[in-house]
Structure 1
Amino acid sequence: MNRISMSLLGASLLAALAVPAAAAPRDGEAELAKAIAGRTAGKPVDCIQLRNIRSSRIIDRTAIVYEMNNGTIYVNRPRSGAESLDWTDVLVTETFTSQLCSIDVVKLYDTGTRMTTGWVGLDEFVPYAKPPRS
């Protein structure tokens, strides 16, 4: 091989190594099933109390999971915008009451760029109670 070909080959190899491997796509339904495993779904409700929410997390393109102080998990499958849900985003909700309700809209912000990446229109919240201790 001539000198130019070796240089191009070397540059190609370095470029290939410098590009990070793309993350495998996440399976939202499988992740949600894991989050509610062993729990039984209750009757959906329109609102949950903000003061009782311990944490929330996004399930990619599927749902938002709210963990309550008492251990109950509420799953919200947005009626619109679910395709925008990305686990790396931050949820920003503007509420005017002490509740988060099915009529509320949640904005999504990218943690790196701090720009809006989308929004979701919430739907009913389905409770999944902790399994009873044996």
Structure 2
Amino acid sequence: MRPIIAILLSASLLGALSAPAAAKEKLTGEAKLSKMLEGRVAGEPQDCISLPAASSSEVIDKTAIVYRIGSTLWVNRPRSGAESLDDDDILVTKLNSTRLCSIDTIELHDRNSHMYTGFVSLGEFVPYRLADKDKPAG
């Protein structure tokens, strides 16, 4: 019986020691977005994007929503409600057309309970394209 108790205590101690290390590795929303946009150049902000053309969307905690259309990342920093953004939320978008625009709002729902957790009022969409490495700097 004692060996089982020793094993359980050792396992729980190892789990407790590794938890702070894992917690330190979690990037802030701004840091995660910055890393995602490395090697990309911002373009002119747009009021709308074509939602059916988007192959994916990603919520960046308390920061932004990033839509991928082709190789371009469209970053939307909400005008209000960004503090409600959680990368574990589901985006519920109600559209009157196929375009998602800066005047639209998006509801946020918890992925597990499906309970309403807030909403964001979208801002402009800023395209980030891969930098052309063949162009001379200047």
Residue 25 of structure 2 is aligned to residue 29 of structure 1: no
Q: Give 1:1-134 correspondences, 5 Å limit.
A: 24=23, 26-68=27-69, 70-132=70-132
3-state SS, counterpart of residue 29 of structure 1: helix
1:132 CA displacement: 3.2
Task: Verify the 8 A CA contact 1:26 1:60 in the aligned structure 2.
Answer: no
User: Which contiguous aligned blocks of 4+ residues in structure 1 show a shift greater than 3 angstroms?
Assistant: 20-26
Q: Which amino acid aligns with 2:130?
A: K
3-state SS, counterpart of residue 33 of structure 1: helix
Task: Verify the 8 A CA contact 1:43 1:126 in the aligned structure 2.
Answer: yes
With the length of structure 1 as denominator, give the TM-score of the two structures.
0.80
Q: CA RMSD in A?
A: 2.2
How far apart, in 2, do the equivalents of 1:112 and 1:26 lie? 23
Aligned length, in residue pairs: 119
Name stretches of at least 5 consecutive residues in structure 2 with no aligned partner: 1-8
How far apart, in 1, do the equivalents of 2:67 and 2:104 lie? 15
Deviations 1:7-28 (A, max 9, x none): xxxxxxx9xx5xx968736400
Name stretches of at least 5 consecutive residues in structure 1 with no aligned partner: 1-13
- Percentage of pairs with the same residue: 53
With the length of structure 2 as denominator, give the TM-score of the two structures.
0.78
Q: Which structure has more helix as a fraction of its residues?
A: 2
Deviations 1:20-75 (A, max 9, x none): 9687364000000011110000000000011210100000000000011x210000
